Structures are given as structure tokens and as C-alpha cells.
Amino acid sequence: EIVLTQSPATLSLSPGERATLSCRASESVSNYLAWYQQKPGQAPRLLIYDAFNRATGIPARFSGSGSGTDFTLTISSLEPEDFAVYYCQQRSNWPLTFGGGTKVEIK
């Protein structure tokens, strides 16, 4: 199965700062990579699909890039509501797999 490795495990930033999250795949997933945000006690929310497409209702401060094995989620300027855990997920091959997550916490 395809293993997704996210880094860093924790990112400590202040509101207004730029967040850069990484997801690396154990083999090429083309551009079939999604990003989710999860807040405590809530279900994940789809942010980005197919590497760079924002899902419905997602603010423009969220952007995705990358292809093949290396992907990045960028939050251009952190809002208070953006502090959460972020997961990547590949749909290149079965089984569908997720990364271990990056927690974005308030510095």
C-alpha cells in the first residue's frame, strides 16, 4: 500500500503567519492527493482535492501544490480557526490511505 508521510508532526505558528505542510508518498500518486482539516471532536473536512483544487466553500488562503511524490499545503495567513490537524490522502491506488497528520498549533 502507498504510505504517506507528513511533516512536520507539529507546526507552531502565530495568527497571520504562513503555514507550509508537507506530504510525501512512498510512490508516485500522480496528482491524486487530497488534504483535510480536522478540529477536535469534529469530522474531517475536505480542503483540497487532486493536489490543487479547492473544495466547495474553502477560502482562497488554502492552496495545494505538488505532483508525483511530494505535495504541499499552504495556508497563506493563518486565521484563528485554522489551528487544527491536517491530513493528506491518496486516491491513486487501493487501499486509499492517509498520512499521519500535521498539527498546526498556536505559538
Q: Which of 5, 10, 96, 106 is the binder for another protein (CB under 8 A)?
A: 96
Contact 107, 16 (CB under 8 A): no
Site for another protein contains 34 (CB under 8 A): yes
Site for another protein contains 43 (CB under 8 A): yes
The 45-74 site mask, x for binding another protein (CB under 8 A), equals xx--x-----xx------------------
Site for another protein contains 99 (CB under 8 A): yes
**DSSP tally for the chain: helices H, then strands E:** 0, 11
Site for another protein contains 102 (CB under 8 A): no
Residue 55 DSSP code: P
The distance in angstroms from the start CA to the end CA of the chain is 35
Amino acid letter, residue 48 = I
Cα separation, 24 vs 4, in Å, equals 6
Nearer to another protein, 4 or 19 (CB): 4
Residues in contact with another protein by CB under 8 A are: 32, 34, 36, 43-46, 49, 55-56, 87, 89, 91-101
